[in-house]
Amino acid sequence: MESLAKNVVWHQAAVTRELRQELNGHRAVNLWFTGLSGSGKSTIAHAVEEHLFRAGCRTFVFDGDNVRHGLCSDLDFSESGRSENIRRIAEMVKLFLEVGVIALTAFISPLREDRQRVRELLGEDFIEIYCQCSLDVCEGRDVKGLYRKAREGKIQNYTGISSPYEEPVHPDLVLDTGTSPLETCIAKVLSLLKTRQVI
Ligand SMILES: Nc1ncnc2c1ncn2[C@@H]1O[C@H](COP(=O)(O)OP(=O)(O)O)[C@@H](O)[C@H]1O
Ligand SMILES: [Mg+2]
């Protein structure tokens, strides 16, 4: 099939990503949090965002809630649905990087291949942060009561129960969210951003 995008030509913008970053006073990157449900992705992403925002950075958190209900409301939780969900999020994040924003993403993103595709799309702007936490602890927390429903068979394809989670092989950062206090995890992320000269 002929690509529909064939005759779509890039417009050369005068306001570039570099100029936006200069105005913002920091680099644009994607902090990609991955881990089981209840491992702390949303909690840490929002807490880190708050620190960055107070420090004058342009930030935004993408989470299941603001993506699954809108942009990806047509997708299910099958393998192909999850892959397409991640693909769309990555493309959206790419645009936000052009805006000069620090984009924090909090998605289970259980499949290595899907995350690898994001890394390929975003290159060095992709910072993979693994929220490492045992299934026992996550299930014990059961923040949304979904593990119980999954155990009762009321939810299909639930990561960790009836759907796989593939740990990152070479994440940029591992947070021990099952045993470390939240403050320690936040500090580690902020420290990485300084080391990488993002802020
Ligand atoms: N070190 C930690 N990092 C993140 N969350 C933690 C930590 N320790 C305990 N928690 C708790 O674990 C839960 C994580 O839930 P949430 O952030 O919604 O997970 P996810 O977004 O990965 O599904 C929250 O209730 C949070 O207070
Ligand atoms: Mg969450």
CATH number of 16-195: 3.40.50.300
Q: Can you give the pTM of this predicted structure?
A: 0.94
Q: How many residues does the chain have?
A: 199
What residue segments make up the domains of the chain, in order of their start?
16-195
| Tokens matching residue 123 | 């290159």
Cβ–ligand 1 distance for 178 under 6 Å, the answer no
**Which protein residue has the closest C-alpha to ligand 1 atom 9?**
182
Q: Report pLDDT for 77.
A: 85
- Between the CA of 187 and the centroid of ligand 1 the distance, in Å, is 15
Q: Report pLDDT for 24.
A: 96
Cβ–ligand 1 distance for 65 under 6 Å, the answer no
- 109 in active site: yes
Out of 37, 42, 109, 163, which one is annotated catalytic?
Answer: 109
Query: Residues 54-88: pLDDT tens digits?
Result: 999 999 999 987 899 999 999 998 889 989 999 99
Query: Residues 90-137: pLDDT tens digits?
Result: 999 999 999 999 999 999 999 999 999 999 999 999 999 999 999 999
Q: Report pLDDT for 3.
A: 67
